[in-house]
Structure 1
Amino acid sequence: MQRLVELAQYTSIAFTERLAQAGIAPSIGSVADAYDNALAESTIGLFKTELIKLRGPWKTFSDAEFATAEWIDWYNHHRLHGALDHITPVEYETAHHHHNHAAEPLSA
């Protein structure tokens, strides 16, 4: 028996709307096409290069989990990114939210 695939598995209307609200254009795609996951693949590649290949192998799963958490913290709070004008992702996100939400009234 052939299993039918739901279109929601490929295109999420909510995801598309959220991208639009944030002013983000999908990298590729049209109705019923999957969006490009190049950003995720790029980050996974960095993770493998900067952590897995350099510091592994680990003796336990917990060792790998702890190393991953450390790498994510470093990546977000200390690693300077050329695509972000040589600041960290946290600094970039903070500036983005400050710039885009500073004039918004607080809701009750």
Structure 2
Amino acid sequence: MLLTLLWTLQGWVYLAVVFDLYSRRVVGWHMDRKMETSLISRALMMAINLRKPPPGLMHHSDRGSQYASNQYQAMLKQHDLVCSMSRKGNCWDNSSTERFFSSLKREWLTGNLYSTRESAIADVRAYIAYYNARRLHTTLGDMTPIEFEKIA
């Protein structure tokens, strides 16, 4: 899980995503105007509700204070998820999620000026739907994440 931020005329809006590394699918996400633990907790709950992960599933994040918070760590333990955090200064651990953010910003958001946070959230929602169901991935044999999961 990682965070990124987007500019609107109302100010910043933060996006947290939970990314399935196997299928390259965004399985959880949430956007908010504050970068607090509740932002990432809501994204994680979306992923948990969608995937119903088995005990012991590894959940990877960076070392941000939100991820290290007692509240978030308790949530991981409550759902029997194993916490994995990047080493300090190691950007390669999160490269797939960073690539998603890059695609979002280059393919979809470039040149867009959002008057409200709500309009940015609606546009990101549309991109995630496109990304999961229509965007082809060379790492998946030129399939979408949803197509790949159906045959895997």
Q: TM-score, normalised by structure 1?
A: 0.55
String of CA shifts for 1:30-78, please: whole Å, max 9, x gaps.
xx97260111111111111012214x11111111011000000001101
Name structure 1 gaps, 5 residues minimum: 1-16, 20-25, 27-31, 97-108
Alignment match, 2:149:
93
Count of aligned pairs: 68
Structure 2, unmatched stretches of 5+, are: 1-55, 61-83, 88-92
Query: Residues 50-65 of structure 1 correspond to what in structure 2 (within 5 A)?
Result: 50-54=107-111, 56-65=112-121
- Give every structure 1 segment of 4 or more consecutive aligned residues whose post-TM-superposition deviation is greater than 6 Å: none
Higher RCO (C-alpha 8 Å, min separation 6): 2
* Larger-gyration structure (1/2): 1
**TM-score normalised by the chain length of structure 2:** 0.40
Q: Root-mean-square deviation (CA), in Å?
A: 2.1
Residues of 2 paired with 1:33 and 1:18: CA distance?
Answer: 14
Match of residue 140 from structure 2 = 84
Counterpart mapping for 1:19-38 below 5 A = 19=58, 34=86, 36-38=93-95
Question: Does 2:122 correspond to 1:66?
Answer: yes
Letter in 2 for 1:34: S
Shift of 1:18: 2.3
| Percent identity of paired positions between Structure 1 and Structure 2 | 26
Give the match for residue 49 of structure 1.
106
Write 1 or 2 for the structure with the bigger share of strand: 2
Shift, 1:90, TM fit: 0.3
